[in-house]
Every structure is written in C-alpha cells, then in structure tokens.
Chain A
Amino acid sequence: MRLLLTSATSDLGASLVRLLGSDHDLTLTDLPAHAEGNAGVTGCELGDDEATDRLVDGIDAIVHIGYGGHFAGPSDLLDMHTRCTYNLLFAAREAGVPRFVNLSTLRLLADYPPHLTVTENWRPLPEVEPLILGAHLCEFVCREFGREGGIKIANLRLGFPLVKGDTGAATASGESAALAEDDLRVAINAALVADLAAGAESAQSPAPLSFRTIHVQSPIPEPRFLLNGAASVLGLWERQGSAR
C-alpha cells in the first residue's frame, strides 16, 4: 500500500518509518523547516495549494500524526493540528484517497480515575496545554470530515509511553497505558483495511459510519484503558484488555 506519512522527521515519525517501511511503500513529508536536509522527505507546508494536492496524488492511505509529532509554540501546534490537518483532509478527499489514519493519544482521557472502564464511549477531557488541546482539535477536524463521508477515517488514540519491542516490553515497563512499538505496527496495519462500521448501529445502512475512534494500547495485564474497540473494529487482542 502506498502510504503518506506526515511529520516524518519527528521522533514518532522516525519510529513509524522503521515500523511500517517493510510493509508499505512510504512517502514521507514534513514541514519544510524539518524536511530540510532529510533525504527522501518532501517538504510541504500542508497549505491550501497545489503542493498539498501533489502530495496526496496516487496515495492509498495517509498516516497523520495528530499528537506527539514536533514540539513547537502554541500557535504553530494549533495551526498544524487544525488548519494543516483540514487542508490535508480536504486535498485527500478531493483526490479520492480512501483511508486516513489519525494518530491521537489516550492522554485525552488520562484525567479519568484508573478504576473506571474507560472506552471510546467516554468523553475526552483535554487540557488547555497546546499539545493536548491540539490533539483534541485534530480529532474534531477528522470527525467532521468523517461525518460527511468521502474518506474513511480511523482515529487511533495511542497509549503512552511508546516502548520499543513487543507486548512483553510494554508489560515490563510497569506503565499501565504503555504501547509497544510492535503492537502499534499491528494496529496501524489493521486500521488501514478495517471495516470502520463493524459493530456500529449504521453498519447495515447504505452509508455506514466513516469515522471511528479506536483505543490502542498494548494488551497487558490490568491495562489502563479497555480495548473493546481494537477487538471489535480492528480484530485485535480479543478477550485481552477487556473488563473482567
């Protein structure tokens, strides 16, 4: 599958290049200031212009870093997660790109006490700190595009921290919301092809759901967040990470 990866020179972007590079034909992009000097990375402002149109031309799916990309001042962060995301989705929809995977964060739900059965049905509780607020607003943009259809959008809220290795490494980290890189790779690959309407009320309608939020952390013992959506939509980790 030909994938476009945004914020490709960020730490998370570099991890994704390593994780997804053998499975897909990657097109890497980043803002020009970050792309400069990085061979193989196309600099693009993600503006409302032909450069963004060219970027999405012929792409099968976009993996967009909606949290945890580059650190910047509040204005630049909010701009990336609202306007740039809007421009990218607008161009992708126009070009007929069928799938968009937004990588958000489970930190949006971190204020709920750990004993609660927090799933995708719980309302996010973002802070005003721009990193978290930006992730929340990025989801907002994606949701409205998903509501209108024309492009399937999987909104993956990723666990934290991201740890190298497999589920065992996540368990060993002692972090209840940890996400192992191997599990992230599996989840993104599943999200690229999953039926996003699986199990939804609209699944049998002529216009089924085209936006779905899915919580993704490693299926460790006593996970902080339940993985009901990962099981029902992505087909992952059945009977793991669920309420007992």
Chain B
Amino acid sequence: MNVLILGGNGMLGPWVVKALGDRHRLRITDIGEPPATTHEWRQIDVSSLDDVVDAAEGMDAIVNLSVLRPHRRVAFDVNTRGNYNMMVAAVTHGIQRVINTGPHFQLAGPGYQDWDFDLNPDMPPQPGTRLYAHTKALGQEIDRVFTTRHDIYLQTLLFYHLYDPGDVTHGPGGGGRESVGNDLVPYSIAWPDAGEAIRCAVELPLERLPGRAETYMVFTDMPHGKFSNRKARQQLGWQPRYHLEQLWNK
C-alpha cells in the first residue's frame, strides 16, 4: 500500500515508520527537517492545501500525525485546517482510507474526564475550549463531515501519554515527571504499541469497519477503569505488548 504520512517526523512519526516501513511504501512528510530515512521524503506544510493535495497523489492511504499545541494561530492552521486539506486531498485523489490521530481529550474533555469512568470512543466529543483539544476536535469533526458526503473511511486513533518501554521511569518524553510506583495518567501507552496500532488501522480491511467514521482509544491495558480500549482491541485487532505495570504498582 502507498501510504502518505503527514507530520511524519514528530514524536510519534518514527514509531509509525518503524511499524509500517517493511510492509508498505511510505511517503513521509513534515514541516521540519528530514529524518534519516530510506523512504520518500517531502517537506510540506499541512496548512497549505496545495502542499497536501500534491503530496497525496498516487497514495492509497493517509496517516495524519501532524499536531501543533501552544500557538493559537498555528494550532488552528495545523490541527483544524490541516484536516480540511487532508480530506480535500483524499477526495481529489480518490483515497478511501484516512487515519487521523489526536489526544484523547479532543473527545473526552474535562466534562467527561473529571467526572466519569469507562469512557469510550463512541461518546460524542466534548473537548471544551482548551486550545489543543479544541482545535483537534474541530479537525476530527471536519473529517467526519467529509465521510458523510464522500466515499472515505476515517479511523481516528486517540493517544495521550507515551512512554519509552525501556525506561518508563522518566515519564512521557523523558520529562522526568513520572516515577515508578506513583501511578500514571490512566491513558498511557508505550511508543512501539502506538506505532503498531497505526499499522493495524492501515491494514484493517475497510469492509470490517462498522461505519465510515470510527474512533479508537488506544492505550495499554490498565486497572483504572477510567477509559476503555476495548474497541481498539476488538476492531483493530491490536494488542498492547507493554503494560507499564511498574508505574501503577507500588
């Protein structure tokens, strides 16, 4: 399969490339500097409609890993309008498979997370007004609307805290805020498992999707009962290899 990766040189990109690289032909794109890769590379800006449409030519699937968090204008450019550009590109080139990613709180914002348990990916989104969540939720809504009008299948995979399974003691991104035995955000995953989930989504036969817009909460098996990863396991056929027990055992 020919797979376009948007935002392919960010935090998650290398793990996705690792999971897909031996099985698919990749076109990796990012606004930043090129990665060390043997795959095709293009430097593009996802907020440019022309850039994204051009990059999608000849592709069978699009994986959107692009994200921008703190800057108000750029967050909307990337997280919201970037999704519009991606969907126009999919329509333009007849690409049926689109995989979008984002943080879990673009769906399960504080209105859910601060109150409830067994939060699942089929709830209607309540991102609130926090910039990151809000702009990504708008992007997902754009994607969903496109699937109601075009022959496109959208899979949205929601992540949050990501750990290096070889060194979980330093927290997401090695920031040093988490430590063994002090519990962790009950929505966490190891980087390789996140890449593997994307591979499962890329390779899932479209006819096995119950609908044109499916969302998955992707995190490792955890005892908290706060969120549910059942749908990701059942529909994607994904299974986490790393359970991060060190962090939720005293």
Residues of A within 8 A of B (CB): 47-48, 74-75, 78-79, 82-83, 86-87, 89-90, 125-128, 133, 136-137, 140-141, 144-145, 147-148
Contact = CB atoms under 8 A, between A and B. Distances in A.
8 contacts: A48-B72, A75-B47, A75-B81, A83-B80, A140-B138, A141-B134, A147-B111, A147-B128
Interface on chain A toward B: helix, strand, loop, or mixed SS? Answer: helix
Contact of B134 (A48, A86, A125, A136): A86
Interface in B121-139: 126-129, 134-135, 137-138
Contact of B81 (A78, A89, A127, A141): A78
Contacts, number: 67
Interface string B228-250: 00000000000000000000000
A145 B131 CA distance: 12
B1 interface: no
A171 to B, nearest CB: 33
Contact of A78 (B73, B84, B146, B148): B84
Contacts of B81: 75, 78-79, 82
Given A82-B80, A127-B149, A141 B138 contact: yes
A125 B145 CA distance: 8
B119 interface: no
A133 B145 contact: yes
B76 A82 contact: yes
Given A48-B73, A83-B72, A128-B146, A148 B141 contact: no
A82 B148 contact: no
Nearest to A146: B129
Nearest to B111: A147
B31 interface: no
A137 B128 contact: no
Given A136-B141, A140-B141, 9 more contacts: A47-B73, A87-B72, A133-B84, A137-B142, A140-B137, A141-B134, A141-B138, A144-B126, A148-B128
